[in-house]
A and B are shown apart, each in its own frame.
Chain A
Amino acid sequence: MEKISLTGQLIQYIFTGITVGSIYAMVALGFNIIYNVTEIINFAQGEFVMLGGLIMVFFSAFLKLPLPLAFLLTVAVVTGVGALMERFTINPLKNATVLTMIIVTIAVSILLKGIAMFVWGKDPYIIPPFSGSEPIVILGAAIQTQTLWVLLMTAVVVVLLSLFFKKTRYGKAMLACADDPDAARLVGIKVNTMVLISFALSAAIGAVAGAIITPISLMEYDRGALLGLKGFGASVLGGLGSFYGAVVAGILLGIIESLCAGLISSGYKDAVALLLLLLVLYVRPSGLFGNVEAGKIKEF
């Protein structure tokens, strides 16, 4: 077999990094949307990704529905889970302490993980790539077609979210809540509804991420925690609450991780992302792209 050149290898790693990083970016976006509206960090965010992957497996591989339909149904179901979570656990606990909120979202994450294990068992699942399994060769690196799907869908999510927050009534109302919930309430915005939408929206983004990554990295019931943790790393790195920061930091994190795995040690690749998270938290908790003042102004 022909030896792959070093450039080819590097390009390969970078593409892998961008792919995984897109997923982290989407998890980070989910964190940010909920955080902006409620100041809650949702520890169940990673579970939405896991559910998205496994429900996609159910619809497309088990029920053999056509791909677009399976995808839409997956997103719809997980969005529903997010909305239910808000209605039954977050909404009744108004004015709870941060500690209680952390524990509640952890409880939900354990519950979702338990349900997933009950339904799908402990084995990982895979589905075929969305289109053609023949990899494309770019500069000596073999790129899976699914990678292109991941990039495309990430771009679609980012564009749709921007439009949502800039153009629609609900999006603008959510921004208003993020700025000042009391003032938003005074001008007639139903803050309650906005919190509900923020959870539903985060769950939807998580579902998209899970559904598109499953053909590449497989999916099993206990993947949520680590995905959530790294997604949180990305959102902190980008400055918690910052929309574009999350995207850039997520992809950056993915590339760093993939280069470490390829060039240094694959066993420690998860540790690298987490060490980076700790470093940012310790040294610059406002993130790479925010300053302390900007960290306080909650803008998407």
Chain B
Amino acid sequence: MAGGTTEARPRGGMKRRVYLVDGARTPFLKSRGRPGPFTPVDLAVQCGRPLLLRQPSVAEAIDITILGCVNVIADEVNPARVAALRLGLGEEMVAFTVQINCGSGMQSIETAFRYIQDGSADIILAGGAEALSHAPLVIRRDATDWFGRFSIEKSVRNKAKRLTELRPRFFKPIVGLKRGLTDPIVNLNMGQTAEVVAHLFSVTREQSDQYAVTSHLRLAQAQDAGFLKGEVIPIVDREGNLYEKDDGVRPDTSVEKLAELSPAFEKPYGQVTPGNSSQITDGASWTILASEAAVDKHRLAPFARIVDSQWSALDPSIMGLAPTLCATAMLKRNGLARDDVGLWEINEAFAAQVLACLAAWEDEAYCKEGLGLDGPFGLIGHDRLNVDGGAVALGHPVGASGNRITLHLANAMKRLGAKRGVATECIGGGQGGAILFEAA
């Protein structure tokens, strides 16, 4: 491992301080119904190259590379290792991929945080990458079975016989992404779980649409004001097309326009529409985490310090509420209350799901029985939540999103002078993850 001498490895459980020192991501590119120009590793390479260029001394001292990715494509089985080699990090770079579904990009940061905290490493490159537009078409199970039977036949006569068993439906592939977004335990699509939590906490269609509009306007404002400079780096595909910013943003959208859309998952009465859900996009994001010793040695300027992290889980059908579990537990453990947190990033899988979380935190019974608090956690004001927009406007490349919200939280804390921040997200399958930052 480059720079592998870990200074002052602590003994007996003393925990070291860990900093997020830099990070960069690609623009998030809306899926246009066919495979986009980049694979997950292409995306990781595109934003990793400029990040490593602007951190030359760090680039040479990285101990481990960790990448979150859910839909790994067949040509890039361990995308972390492929990306590390393509980034020129050297043959000796240890690299592994982590996967916890929608939380994978945060899992890489969390894993890096724990390694550095316990003294196993000093500098880790932790990222997330996803190319949802590359999600494979899956051959139907009965078609695969038929092909298996056909190919083991030796004689022409038997082959011909098998041919008569061929059915037209065999040629109709299943969109892998659709399967991936459906929970196999409760057989609910993610959008349907958002309908469930919206119902449980009385979130209305109008509230969701209003929230979605705000997300678009905030992202557009952040892009125009240059708040994403250095965080989002333009990329170029092989045909020479330039992608400079998240292209799902619609600053001209309005509650009226969104009201016209039909429900996407539960027709005709549902409220979750394509307009108030996160978009299907491709994107990648990297962060660099460093120990205090490494910060001093390389004279780095940290964005923020990672204080703690937490995973929690509940029933898959109400996965959207998981952020309330993990974030609350994490704050409780650190003796912090709602008002101690100046900035929040809650990943916008669905507008209704974010609003359900906010409502749950104000719900006395839920907070007492569900979260073990003495009373309601309280209202998280919109002025401190997803201040530069979220996945509804810029999309949710599942393996990258957790990395993006964490990086962006650190960036926004620096810009706004916030003392503490929490990044949290719901995870398909009924889980949630959270990270707590303190100003460096």
Chain A partners chain B: no
Q: Which residues from chain A sit less than 8 Å from chain B, CB to CB?
A: none
Residues of B within 8 A of A (CB): none
